[in-house]
Structure 1
């Protein structure tokens, strides 16, 4: 059976804030909607599911994020995921210039957890907290320079 990754879904506290962050990094909004009703209750497994959603796409067209902000039921705040916790971990992006990507993230109040590390002669990498505490990894491929 063929399988294809459709998107990664992320619940956010503030949809507009998250859209601004990811579009500044280079993603494009390809759709927006407000969803509710029996079909969403069934598909998501949550009674009274009502959310505002936005689908964002990477410039190469291969990666998509679905961001959603719950209208009902109320969103449940949790502690931000730590890099060593089991479960949904992070979303990662390749960037041409990690320093520029970090400057863009900083305009949104998002800074590296510790700094930028270099993996051999291959990658410069950094984890940061994006909007709603989302862990975001940025990676610059040094072999393309």
Structure 2
């Protein structure tokens, strides 16, 4: 059976602020909508489901994020995920320039959890706490000369 990853869905507190963060990093908005009705209740498993949504795509066309801001039922605040917690962990992106990506993240008030690390002279990377507490991994491949 063929299978293909379509997108990663993330519930957020502020859809516009989260879109601004990811578009500044280079993703593009494919579309925005509001969803509700019986089909949405059935698909998601929430009665009265009503959310504003946006689909974003990476420049290479291979990665997509679907962001939702719940109108009803009300979003439930939780503590930000820790790197060692079970469940949805992080979303990861490769970038051409990690320093530039970190400058963009900082303009949105988003900073590394600890710092920047180098993995076996292959990647320079960090985890950033993004909007709505999302952990975003940014990694720059190190070029061999």
Give yes or no for TM over 0.5.
yes
Q: Does 1:87 align with 2:87?
A: yes
Q: CA deviation at 1:121?
A: 1.1
Question: Which runs of 4 or more aligned residues in structure 1 lie more than 2 Å from their structure 2 counterparts after TM superposition?
Answer: none
Q: TM-score, normalised by structure 1?
A: 0.98
Q: CA RMSD in A?
A: 0.9
1:143 Cα shift? Answer: 3.3
Task: Mark the runs of 5 or more structure 2 residues left unpaired by the alignment.
Answer: none
Q: Indicate the SS of the match to 1:143.
A: coil
Equivalent residues in 2 for 1:5-84, closer than 5 Å: 5-84=5-84
Q: Deviations over 1:44-89 (max 9, x none)?
A: 0111000000000000000000000000000000000000000000
- Aligned counterparts of 1:43 and 1:72: Cα–Cα separation in 2: 15
Give the paired residue count.
145
SS in 1 for 2:29: strand
Q: 3-state SS of the aligned residue for 1:78?
A: coil
- Consecutive unaligned residues of structure 1, counting only runs of 5 or more, are none
TM-score between both structures, scaled by the size of structure 2: 0.98
Deviation per CA, 1:96-127: give whole Å up to 9, x if none.
00000000000000000111000011000100
Partners of 1:71 and 1:15 in 2: how far apart? 11
Distance 1:137 1:64 in 2: 15
